[in-house]
Structure 1
Amino acid sequence: MKWSIPEKVIEEGRECAKEGRVVSWSKNLERRVWYAEVIGSDMLYVELDGTAKEDDVCQCMYWEQHGYCKHTVAVELAMREKGVSRFIPRTEIKEAEAPKVISPAVVFTKGFERLQDAELRKLIRQTDDLFLTYGVDIVPTSDYHEEQSVLGLHLRIGRRDTPKKTYIVKNMDEFLEAYKQDKEIRISTINWKVGPSAFNSENNALIRLMLMMKDQQTLVVNSRSQAKSVIDRRYLILNKQVARQLFDEFKHDKSFMIKGLGSQIKRAVIHQGKIPLTVTLSPVGLSDYELTIIDPFIVFLEEYQWLVGTDGFYELTEEQAASYQVLTQMLKRLDKPTIYYTKDQVNSLFSYVLPQLALLCDFDLPESLDDEVLRYPLDIKLYFHKEDDSLVVRVDFCYGEYIFSNVPNYSTSIGEEGAVLRDKVQEERLITLLRHYGYGTYAQRYSKKFPNDLERFYFFTREIPTLKKYTEVHLSEEVQSLYLAADEHQPKARIIENGSWFDIQFDISSVDETEVNDVLSSLMQNKEYHQLRNGQVLMLDDEAYKETNQMLRLLREDIRLDGNRLEVPTYRSLVLSEAMTQLTDVETSDYFETMVDELTHPETADIALPAQLNATLRDYQITGFKWFKTLSKYHFGGILADDMGLGKTIQTIAYLLSEKEEGELTKPSVIVAPASLLYNWQLELEKFAPSLKSKLIIGGKEERNAQIASLDDIDVAIISYSTLRQDSAELKKIDCHSVILDEAQMVKNSATKTFQSISELKSDRVFALSGTPIENRLEELWSLFKLLMPGFFPAIRSFKQLETTEIATMIKPFVLRRVKKDVLQDLPDKVETDRYSQLTDEQKTVYVAYLKQIQDSLSKLNAKDFNKQRMSILAGITRLRQICCHPGLFIEDYTGGSGKMDQALDLIEQAKSNGRRVLLFSQFTGMLSILEDELAKRDVGTFYLRGSTPVKERQELVERFNRGEKDVFLISLKAGGTGLNLTGADTVILYDLWWNPAVEEQATGRAHRIGQTRKVEVWRLLAEGTIEERMNQLQLEKKALFQKVLHSEDAPELSSMTMDDIKHILAIGDED
């Protein structure tokens, strides 16, 4: 080998050869080289030059940097061991047989075979091939302060096939980073693949723990001023928590070593309690003593508060740590660990030194001390009393029967018994604590200004409890009386009915009733106490007060303060009942309990149906009747929100008739309904409750005035919304028993004159009937309840802040809603089908042109301009919808036909041929006229209900159709979508979509209702690829909010749509 190779590398090569890392070698005579394989961090391929040049080659990084390495040395030494010389003479080449001719294919294949073998060996070695040894060193961070040392974990790495050879991991951060990324790292000239697959489970567990430690070591290092620059990068610094966890993990591992400061710790164990100091007190002569202290510990680690000994670690408390640090500082100043005490110094020894040593370790005292020193445990007693405006405390230090007081008269004389061994440390600690609380020394006593309000609260809740930890505290009767403990003065609640209010009265023992509300006010402000007018501090930290606070918070929006009483409106009885469940001690009346029970379960009320009712009610209708009666009993209003067709009318009539039979109907009730339904109400009243005297308020102004003036003898007046608005001045003078608002969604706007006229009516009760009490916004519900029960909801701004779940809870007793599928099991099915049609070519041309025009206009608008142009944009959208129906609705001389109309005519003919009878709804009366003409050409008879159709004629048309006359009823959606009973039809065609599906549901409900015996088919006609498809999608997306409150099927009107909504629906149809 070359003479220039350093001795160190030769030694490493020799070690490598001894460990058997040279796997194989072979000779290539033609090239005069040796091929060898050597195990390094990976399988390495080495070429030894067989000539005198000795130009060896290795794959390792070290060879690339230096031109030599231990692997080439190892191969040569391994060959020598076997008696093989590396030199290949030329004569040997000549003597060798002529080489066989090997084809290029064989050479090529052999090369890849060799690579595959190497990869296989590499894969086998990668799994569980490496191992770690580990230990902990005490690492100094300062040249002058050993106590600032920290604990550092270090590693050595090796291969399992050569377990005696390990290498120091010199950079812990690099090692852990390589492990996380499953990469190679160079350690001591060797490349190591240190991913999880390289180690066994035990080593991997350690590394995972180290990764966790790494994130925490910065805290320890940064707490030392010079630590960063001093600490070797081979260490992973441990904090106290991690060190404890690590020691516990490896406490039984004998290979786990802890070294440092020239010593070795045998066990990774953490002891607690007293430490093994050696303390000896020996008498010298007649009255002197000698104290000897032997400290066996290596170092105190202040970062951990651990003492390090050869048998492990000792964890100190804060007091022990403070005592030990003083002890070591004092011992450093001595030449030897022995201190001499004369007779005059013995008391100081026992007062200051020995008590501190006793915290650290156990030791014995000489028996001769018993004759000279009186030893008793210290018992401190504090006596507080009030003098003028000062708080005075007497301090007694008691040792058995001997008392040392700051007030001389209370001290006892020792006499000739000897000296009392006093614990000066504890005595001075107590005095320091008193000074901390503001006590000064005046005329041999401790005192301060008598605390008030917050200071008084802190005196009883902070100061006294703290002092009680160390002393026996006595309060004078005067001082003690100022503290009212919460558990001894708990609140008790009573609920008393008072007209339309419930009074909540609280009683707190020792608290004047005029101050109770002030206490509750403090409680609602989350105060911990309340100071009464007489100076007493009432604690509010008991569970009973927490319950009361929770109850008050639940009622915060509903509570009214009247003098010293809290009042809650009776319509909040369920909320009040729920709030009262928070209280342990509450007294309620039978009236309150009955109200809560009846409002919660009206179906269980013992209420008989009126005897003169000419109808048989279904079970759910009986529940609705009882619901009416229950609310009426307590002078509440409500909304009967049953699905259309479930008989809201008959339930209302049953309620009014029952009120008359029970003598409650002493004043007329008023039914307000759309004009189209007035005669229907009169007919239903006459049919089901002929004993109820009813009157229609119709005709000219004078006639109506006369009718209103003669209502004293009438049970039920029936009036339209428009008439009510016109005659409000006369109607508001009348006292009513009940007001019934039919189709109440018509008064959803609180800013209208109709709404104002209704609100001026004098009535004990107001009920609303509506299958869709919310059509667009929750504010509509707020408006309705403003009519039904003024004050029920908070102001509109606060109402908008309420969660939908809160609103649903509030209205639950006052809104009764049932849907057909839940209560009418015998009602035939309703099958809804969306039927799509294609625009005709000319119809499509018109549609695309209008769509492009609107899109161009909309794309140029910002939000502000959009609001200004809203009406013109909505008008354009209406045009698109008309085009989908039939362009002839607004384009004169249009002759291109309509795909949807053709589809509708075909469906009607199919229905007729199958014996089905049809209701066809459209919002465009012009479309109904076109269809009327087209159907007439096909000999299909039709009725046509327009908005202008007189009320009486409407009812006649309905009756004729239900008797079987004609096959098709054409109905304007807005004019005939409510209040009609058309069970003679079994097919409903919704010719054009309405923005609010609730309106469509009302329309289909004309046929799918009580009395229907056949399955009802509903066909919704949509022009494919047009705005109607997006309208359909938008309806579905906008229902969720309303379903949360009423489980309704409501959605927004066109006028409530946003700019984004409109852009969304216009993004379809311009390409197809």
Structure 2
Amino acid sequence: MTKNTRKKDDKKLPKVSYYCKPDNLTLKQWQIALRRQTAEKENFAIFEHNTKDSPGYYSVVNSVTKNEYRVVYRGEESVWNYCSCMDFKTSQLGSCKHLEAVKLWISRNHRKIYAGRPSYTSLYLSYKGERKICLRIGTDHEDEFRQLAEPYFTPDGVMRPRAMLHIMDFMREAIRLDNTFRWYDDVLSFIVENRDFHYRKQLLHDFSDKELDQLLKVSLYPYQKEGIRFAFQAGKAIIADEMGLGKTVQAIGTAELMKRKNLIASVLIVCPTSLKYQWKREIERFTGSTVVVVEGNHLARKKLYTSECFYKIVSYNAMSNDIKLLQTLHTDFLIMDEVQRLKNWKTQISRSARHIESEYAVVLSGTPLENKLEELYSVMQFVDQYCLGPYYQFIDQTVVTSDTGKVIGYKNLNLVGEKLKSSLIRRCKKDVALQLPQRMDKILFVPMTKEQREIHDEYQGQVAQLVYKWTRFRFLSEKDRKRLLLFMSQMRMVCDSTYILDQKTRCDTKVDETINILRNVFDSGDEKVVIFSQWERMTRLIAAELDAMDVRYEYLHGGVPSEKRRHLTENFIENPDSRVFISTDAGSTGLNLQVASVLINLDLPWNPAVLEQRIARIFRIGQQRNIQIINLVASGTIEERMLSTLNFKSSLFEGILDNGQDSVFLDDSKLDKIMDSIKIMTETTEGQEEGGADSLSAQDMEERIDRDSAVTEIENDEVSGEKESVLSAGFPDEFEPEEASGTSEKRGVGGTTSVSGGVEAKEDPQELVQQGLSFFSGLARTLQSPQETQKLVDSIVKVDEKTGKTSLNIPVPDKESVVNILNMVGKLLGGK
């Protein structure tokens, strides 16, 4: 055994960027160079196998993880090179860091490369492009093997498509011809996987709709039967139906069909903690089967995994902890609910979930793509790691970036949708509209109190100062960007109530308006109401009013223990006296509250997907009444402006999953464009038509700020035992927690002297230095490009069309600024 250590006389290769492809390399050359660079850094232990029996075979051991990989290397361009790691199998590069480490080891130790043909003949799986079975004929019995292979393989050794069903016949004849004939594990797995697919397809062909109706103790809609058939045939599938269309019953139906066909003997359901008992209840309701919830301490959970119950349910957190100790979990059939929570590929829970082994799987998500195309790729890895191709290639084919490398849009979305057809099924409510009751959305504009307006406008003034500062200096410090996020979040909070920001005061109108709506609902019949707010303190105010009215309600927020959440739902569904369900966005996913027919949104989230998650709590299969959605919006505020935002995220979703636009582009990614958008977002909206030409994409603006800012938590109140950040609460994506509350921090945060009325805040001397450096470095970059230099000249040099005179036209804030600048220049030139 020899360590892959660098020798002193090795030449140090130039470093390759992980983020930007060098101009002198192709995409594949760049990716191979990155793997070679990684191999240089990592400390692998490498040894060569018996060169007589296994020429060209090596083992590579990671000294940190202790994982061992089998590597075959027979020359730089050999089609027989191989590594057992997943990167080799999915990258389509014919290389990986382990194989590159072997190359380095051979070079440094002056070992001979075995590049000839072995004596034995073998079947192997090629990972270049789409996976395919190939035949390598050895030197023994060469002519006989070529004659035997002709009906099954092309002259270059690739298996013919129709030969899959008869390949076992070839393998038997090959063994009779020469008992040294061999095949590898991945070949056999590929054959079994393919033959199983055709077997399920034939079973499904013989399975009637009448038999599907007998699967469950509930009637299925036609599209739900279609979903069960799709998942059964695919083997591993994503059901991405829009929220409220009954993904749960389709997953259970697929499991029952697999069970009836004797394909599975166990099912493991992994879901959020709050949904464990909802799954249990629905399985018992639909099937009558026994169900066990895997919970308790580790030893108790370990025992429950081996239970004879057909259905086992475990939370994501418990599963992640168990994987650490058990290394892996195995089940015949895996169901993963709300899988969009695993969109971040690098989280511990996501890593753990990839260690669950299963023959079949159904992954459920109403929003597999909430914000970024990369999230869909991550979710797809739980179903088919080969479907969308290598990640680097996927990004290259779909992501549009600016010159600076920032994402400005997406392309080829319909092509992505086409690739997903065999593994992902999605239906929208509009597709099954005839099977659902009517939905009516209403926007109720609510005036603010004088106190609310003053605070809102003061924050708006603070934002205006930052916009002015950017316009003047073309620079915002990290602290300024944090303040910008804070002020916009606080503008939204005060639209609900001053109580969210300062618990010593309470000025609002939305609470009274909500109570008026509730009184009308209570007076008109027995309808139930669901109320959502992003802010826990706002829901607290509603709860207090209902207590005063002696109205029974259920109250869900982030501080409610998971074991109590199911009781809240059960009480609301089963108790006719429980008329109201109050919830933060902690309950915006997974809950079935279709017993209600009215939903009140006290505020609107930035992300339209979150809004639809709220609505889907009542607008779903099982709803018997027409439903009403009431959105309370503070008039003349940032909330009203949000109504006319350009829905970039929804357009991206539709382009892939709903066959919408093939390309979706963001606005310019430059910060000045962001600041222009913020200016529009925070200016007075009175007199402007909803959805006008100057409408801002709030989601778009927020994503760009997120990318340019590292938002840290400021002083937070502790609510229900959890620290909650006002900055995080105001914006979605990576900054948005499960729920949020306000903060008692006063305006003027950040140690600056902030004054309303257009007076600029005092400048930090260090910031002025940074502004100067930023100006000069930006100017230098501009002057390096002839095209950019010409743009600069064209923008400041004006020619009078009548007289032909040329003048220098530079915008300035005011005359006083010009006088000050001239005085300063005069002193410099005069030496005084």
TM-score category of the 2 structures, normalised to the smaller one: 0.5 to 0.7
Report sequence identity in percent.
29
Q: Is the 8 A contact 1:671 1:716 kept in 2?
A: yes
Q: How many Å separate the matches in 2 of 1:825 and 1:768?
A: 26
Q: CA deviation at 1:603?
A: 8.9
Please state if 1:703 is matched with 2:300.
yes
Please state if 1:1005 is matched with 2:616.
yes
State which of 401, 419, 439 in structure 2 corresponds to 1:830: 439
Q: What amino acid is the match of 1:1067?
A: I
Distance 1:1025 1:703, change over 3 A: same
Q: What amino acid is the match of 1:910?
A: N
Q: How many Å separate the matches in 1 of 2:435 and 2:607?
A: 28
Q: Which residue in 2 is equivalent to 1:756? A: 351
Distance 1:1069 1:759, change over 3 A: closer
Q: How many Å separate the matches in 1 of 2:480 and 2:665?
A: 20
Q: Which residue in 2 is equivalent to 1:817? A: 426
Distance 1:1024 1:1069, change over 3 A: farther
Q: What amino acid is the match of 1:902?
A: D
Q: CA deviation at 1:869?
A: 5.3
Q: Which residue in 2 is equivalent to 1:852? A: 461
Q: What amino acid is the match of 1:877?
A: M
Q: Comparing both chains, which one has the higher relative contact order based on Cα–Cα distances under 8 Å and sequence gaps of 6 or more?
A: 2
Q: Which residue in 2 is equivalent to 1:888? A: 499
Q: Which residue in 2 is equivalent to 1:914? A: 524
**Equivalence map 1:155-554=2 (5 Å):** none
Q: How many Å separate the matches in 2 of 1:699 and 1:1067?
A: 53
Q: What amino acid is the match of 2:596?
A: A
State which of 1005, 1008, 1021 in structure 1 corresponds to 2:632: 1021
Q: Is the 8 A contact 1:828 1:1016 kept in 2?
A: yes
Q: Is the 8 A contact 1:598 1:605 kept in 2?
A: no
Q: CA deviation at 1:1068?
A: 4.5
User: Partner of 1:831: helix, strand, or coil?
Assistant: strand
Q: How many Å separate the matches in 2 of 1:1039 and 1:724?
A: 32
Q: How many Å separate the matches in 2 of 1:1048 and 1:908?
A: 40
State which of 490, 515, 522 in structure 2 corresponds to 1:905: 515
Q: CA deviation at 1:628?
A: 1.6
Q: How many Å separate the matches in 2 of 1:690 and 1:931?
A: 39
Q: Which residue in 1 is equivalent to 2:109? A: none
Q: CA deviation at 1:865?
A: 4.4
State which of 431, 450, 455 in structure 2 corresponds to 1:841: 450
Q: CA deviation at 1:589?
A: 6.0
Please state if 1:648 is matched with 2:247.
yes
Cα deviations across residues 312-362 of structure 1 (Å, max 9, x unaligned)?
Answer: xxxxxxxxxxxxxxxxxxxxxxxxxxxxxxxxxxxxxxxxxxxxxxxxxxx
Distance 1:1067 1:925, change over 3 A: same
Q: Is the 8 A contact 2:597 2:625 kept in 1?
A: yes
Q: What amino acid is the match of 1:726?
A: N
Give the TM-score normalised by the residue count of structure 2: 0.54
Please state if 1:694 is matched with 2:291.
yes
Q: What amino acid is the match of 2:680?
A: A
**Equivalence map 1:948-1027=2 (5 Å):** 948-966=559-577, 968-1027=579-638
Q: Which runs of no fewer than 5 residues in structure 2 stay unpaired?
A: 1-79, 81-126, 138-159, 166-193, 399-411, 687-832
**Equivalence map 1:942-953=2 (5 Å):** 942-953=553-564
Distance 1:798 1:911, change over 3 A: same
Q: CA deviation at 1:866?
A: 6.4
Q: What amino acid is the match of 1:797?
A: Y
Cα deviations across residues 792-821 of structure 1 (Å, max 9, x unaligned)?
Answer: 223333212231111011001211111223
Q: CA deviation at 1:747?
A: 0.6
State which of 538, 552, 556 in structure 2 corresponds to 1:927: 538
Distance 1:1070 1:1044, change over 3 A: closer
Q: How many Å separate the matches in 2 of 1:828 and 1:920?
A: 20
Q: How many Å separate the matches in 1 of 2:161 and 2:451?
A: 78
User: Partner of 1:989: helix, strand, or coil?
Assistant: strand
Q: How many Å separate the matches in 2 of 1:970 and 1:1060?
A: 41
Q: How many Å separate the matches in 2 of 1:1028 and 1:661?
A: 53
Q: What amino acid is the match of 2:504?
A: D
Q: What amino acid is the match of 1:625?
A: I
Please state if 1:622 is matched with 2:217.
no
Q: Which residue in 1 is equivalent to 2:258? A: 659
State which of 260, 283, 297 in structure 2 corresponds to 1:685: 283
User: Partner of 2:559: helix, strand, or coil?
Assistant: coil
Q: CA deviation at 1:556?
A: 8.3
Q: CA deviation at 1:999?
A: 1.7
Q: What amino acid is the match of 1:845?
A: E
Q: Which residue in 2 is equivalent to 1:613? A: 216
Cα deviations across residues 713-762 of structure 1 (Å, max 9, x unaligned)?
Answer: 23222111111121113454332212211011111100101110011112
Cα deviations across residues 443-468 of structure 1 (Å, max 9, x unaligned)?
Answer: xxxxxxxxxxxxxxxxxxxxxxxxxx
Q: Is the 8 A contact 2:242 2:427 kept in 1?
A: yes
Q: CA deviation at 1:781?
A: 0.6
User: Partner of 1:894: helix, strand, or coil?
Assistant: coil
Q: Is the 8 A contact 2:332 2:360 kept in 1?
A: yes
Cα deviations across residues 997-1047 of structure 1 (Å, max 9, x unaligned)?
Answer: 222212111212222221100011111221112323225344222111112
Distance 1:850 1:893, change over 3 A: same
Q: What amino acid is the match of 2:287?
A: A
Q: CA deviation at 1:640?
A: 0.4
**Equivalence map 1:762-841=2 (5 Å):** 762-800=357-395, 801-802=397-398, 803-841=412-450
Q: Is the 8 A contact 1:928 1:970 kept in 2?
A: no
Aligned Cα root-mean-square deviation (Å):
3.8
Distance 1:1059 1:707, change over 3 A: farther
Q: How many Å separate the matches in 2 of 1:556 and 1:606?
A: 40
More strand by share: 1
Q: Is the 8 A contact 2:553 2:572 kept in 1?
A: no
Give the greater-gyration-radius structure (CA).
Answer: 1
State which of 261, 268, 286 in structure 2 corresponds to 1:670: 268
Q: How many Å separate the matches in 2 of 1:1052 and 1:901?
A: 39
Q: What amino acid is the match of 2:130?
A: D
- Provide the aligned length of Structure 1 versus Structure 2: 491
Distance 1:868 1:892, change over 3 A: closer
Q: Which runs of no fewer than 5 residues in structure 1 stay unpaired?
A: 1-513, 515-554, 566-585
Cα deviations across residues 393-418 of structure 1 (Å, max 9, x unaligned)?
Answer: xxxxxxxxxxxxxxxxxxxxxxxxxx
Q: Is the 8 A contact 1:615 1:688 kept in 2?
A: yes
Q: CA deviation at 1:673?
A: 0.5
Q: Is the 8 A contact 2:272 2:338 kept in 1?
A: yes
Q: Is the 8 A contact 1:918 1:967 kept in 2?
A: no
Q: CA deviation at 1:621?
A: 1.3
Q: How many Å separate the matches in 1 of 2:222 and 2:561?
A: 36
Q: What amino acid is the match of 1:683?
A: R
Q: Which residue in 2 is equivalent to 1:335? A: none
Cα deviations across residues 890-916 of structure 1 (Å, max 9, x unaligned)?
Answer: 124324x21333322222222222224
Q: What amino acid is the match of 2:247?
A: K
Distance 1:848 1:914, change over 3 A: same
Cα deviations across residues 818-864 of structure 1 (Å, max 9, x unaligned)?
Answer: 12232252421011112111222221011000121133234435888
User: Partner of 1:860: helix, strand, or coil?
Assistant: helix
**Equivalence map 1:727-766=2 (5 Å):** 727-766=322-361
Q: Is the 8 A contact 2:240 2:368 kept in 1?
A: yes
Q: CA deviation at 1:872?
A: 4.1
Give the TM-score normalised by the residue count of structure 1: 0.42
Q: How many Å separate the matches in 1 of 2:374 and 2:252?
A: 29
Distance 1:714 1:891, change over 3 A: same
